[in-house]
């Protein structure tokens, strides 16, 4: 019976393709009797090439082709088990997928579908990918409802931990998680990750690659994880991220049978209480000097401005003094982030009390006295409950998704055509 159904489905597909003028399209695989066509495979390959920007050679061409086919097989398995003839569920997923296409690809006054067609990608291919992701997420939440319900119980504990560790270093990161697949062992997965990192460092979009390739729950957000307390990361992750500049991407990291690529999106050395994020209001008075002023001129100006500021104890008075010098320099420097100042200026600001005049400072345009008018330390800005819920959800989803998909692969009847 199963073979008869598969034959009937294959015949219907070929009839449709023939009427559409695509008679050369062939069946490359069947998943529990449902066909995957060479057209679908070619389109998914185009999607991966566009997202990854991997350098194409004989080896990478085969790697992308194999990965694209495995993704189509997995998408077919997800849709088969998640929909079960529920047309309403699929219709809702299609509507949401179309919204995602617009949000992700619309540009320069063109619709998302039009943008995709311009680069040779059938919008239906992208729609099918999004539909699979959406209904799979819905399916996992239904069958593991007890586990997902437990997320809310963890939010208060997580908020308490964050508050307790508010001054501990934090790292903002994005991730791509690659697990071995039936067509790709751990060594091949590591090789793929190496190629992805090379492409990212040449300008490929990390978040687009994560959306296509990553097996983590964060893939739906382009791999964006957000801020994490550094000392709660695996030591190997922390070691690699510490050696990575902000905006940089780590080399592939092998951990617990998976390969991780991490992007360091930001760093708070003092966590949520990082004083480098303090906002500073400054005032200054500057005696202007020509570029060719002698050392004697500069010493004399330094002595003069030191005498003039001896009795000054407010920024308003310092601003008035600056005006009396006929200086064109801006007297007030308002609401600057401490971390954005030059290192020497950061050091100076940290030693001054509010409304305390500094020692004379030499600038190219003259000799100045600085004063801190106001200093606002960063407030404890804990993430929202929704942000924490999303993080917990993505961690649980990634774990459950991979385990459940492995079980589906083992029980499925998959026929790969040569």
List pLDDT tens digits, range 98-132: 999 999 899 889 999 999 999 999 999 999 999 99
If pLDDT is split at 50, 70 and 90, which confidence band does 8 have?
very low
Average of per-residue pLDDT across 285-295: 91
In percent, how much of the chain has pLDDT > 90?
A: 57
- Side-chain-side CA neighbours of 155 within 13 Å: the count stands at 16
Taking only the tens place, the pLDDT of each residue in 127-161 is 999 999 999 999 999 999 999 988 888 888 888 88
User: What integer pLDDT is reported at residue 273 of this predicted model?
Assistant: 63
pLDDT tens for each residue of 162-179: 777 777 888 999 999 999
pLDDT surpassing 50 at residue 27: yes
pTM: 0.66
**pLDDT tens column, 56-110:** 887 788 889 999 999 999 999 999 998 876 778 888 999 999 999 999 899 889 9
Q: Write out the two tokens for 298.
A: 């500069």
Tens digit of pLDDT for each residue in 258-276? 999 999 998 887 776 667 7
Q: How far, rounded to the nearest angstrom, does the alpha carbon of residue 375 sit from its chain's CA centroid? A: 32
Residues 6+ apart with CB under 8 A from 138: 82, 89, 93
Task: Give the per-residue pLDDT at 18.
Answer: 43
**Is the pLDDT at 204 greater than 80, yes or no?**
yes
pLDDT at position 302, please? Answer: 93
- If pLDDT is split at 50, 70 and 90, which confidence band does 19 have? very low
pLDDT band at 25 (very low <50, low <70, confident <90, very high): confident
Domains of the chain, CATH where assigned: 2-271+383-416 (3.10.50.40), 275-376 (3.10.50.40)
Provide the token pair at 418: 């040569």
Distance of alpha carbon 14 from alpha carbon 272, whole angstroms: 59
The predicted-structure confidence for 301-316, as pLDDT tens digits, reads as follows 999 999 999 999 999 9
Give the pLDDT confidence score for residue 20 in this predicted structure. Answer: 45
In Å, the largest CA–CA distance within the chain is: 102
110: Cα within 13 Å, side-chain hemisphere: 11
- Predicted local confidence at residue 85, as pLDDT: 65
Q: What is the pLDDT of residue 178?
A: 95
Q: Is the pLDDT of residue 10 over 70?
A: no
Assigned token pair, 108: 């320069």
pLDDT at site 272: 67
pLDDT of residue 314: 94
Q: Which two tokens stand for residue 338?
A: 């401490």
- Whole-number pLDDT of residue 9: 41
> Which pLDDT score is estimated for 45?
92
Residues 6+ apart with CB under 8 A from 410: none
Mean pLDDT for all residues in the chain? 87
Q: What is the pLDDT of residue 169?
A: 86
Cα angle 153, 157, 159 (rounded to 5 degrees) comes to 115
pLDDT number for residue 364: 84
Give the Cα separation of 87 and 36 in Å (integer): 21
């Amino acid at each position: 019976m199963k073979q008869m159904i598969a034959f009937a489905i294959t015949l219907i597909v070929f009839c449709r393709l023939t009427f559409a003028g695509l008679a050369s399209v062939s069946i490359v695989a069947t998943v529990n009797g449902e066909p995957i066509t060479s057209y679908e495979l070619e389109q998914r390959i185009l999607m991966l090439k566009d997202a990854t920007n991997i350098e194409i050679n004989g080896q990478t061409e085969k790697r992308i082709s194999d990965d694209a086919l495995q993704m189509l097989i997995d998408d077919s398995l997800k849709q088969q088990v998640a929909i079960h003839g529920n047309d309403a569920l699929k219709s809702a997923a299609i509507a949401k997928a179309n919204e995602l296409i617009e949000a992700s690809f619309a540009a320069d006054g063109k619709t998302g579908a039009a943008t995709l067609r311009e680069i040779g990608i059938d919008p239906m291919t992208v729609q099918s990918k999004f539909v699979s992701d959406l209904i799979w997420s819905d399916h996992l939440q239904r069958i593991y409802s007890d586990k997902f319900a437990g997320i809310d119980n963890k939010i208060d504990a997580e908020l308490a931990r964050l508050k307790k560790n508010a001054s501990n270093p934090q790292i903002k990161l994005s991730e791509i998680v690659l697990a071995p697949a039936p067509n790709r062992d751990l060594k091949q997965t590591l090789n793929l990750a190496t190629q992805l990192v090379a492409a990212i460092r040449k300008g490929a979009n990390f978040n687009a690659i994560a959306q296509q390739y990553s097996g983590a729950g964060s893939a739906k957000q382009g791999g964006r994880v957000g801020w994490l307390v550094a000392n709660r990361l695996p030591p190997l992750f922390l070691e690699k991220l510490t050696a990575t500049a902000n905006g940089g991407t780590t080399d592939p990291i092998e951990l617990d049978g998976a390969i991780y690529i991490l992007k360091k999106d930001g760093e708070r050395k003092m966590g949520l209480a990082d004083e480098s994020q303090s906002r500073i209001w400054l005032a200054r008075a500057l005696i202007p000097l020509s570029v060719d002023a002698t050392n004697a001129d500069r010493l004399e100006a330094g002595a003069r401005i030191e005498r003039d500021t001896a009795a000054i104890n407010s920024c308003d008075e310092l601003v008035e003094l600056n005006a009396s010098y006929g200086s064109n320099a801006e007297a007030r420097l308002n609401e600057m982030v401490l971390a954005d100042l030059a290192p020497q200026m950061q050091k100076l600001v940290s030693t001054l009390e509010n409304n305390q005049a500094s020692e004379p400072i030499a600038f190219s345009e003259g000799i100045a006295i600085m004063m801190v008018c106001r200093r606002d330390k960063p407030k404890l800005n804990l993430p929202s409950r929704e942000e924490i819920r999303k993080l917990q959800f993505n961690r649980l989803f990634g774990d459950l998704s991979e385990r459940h998909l492995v079980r589906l692969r083992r029980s499925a009847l998959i026929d790969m055509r040569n």
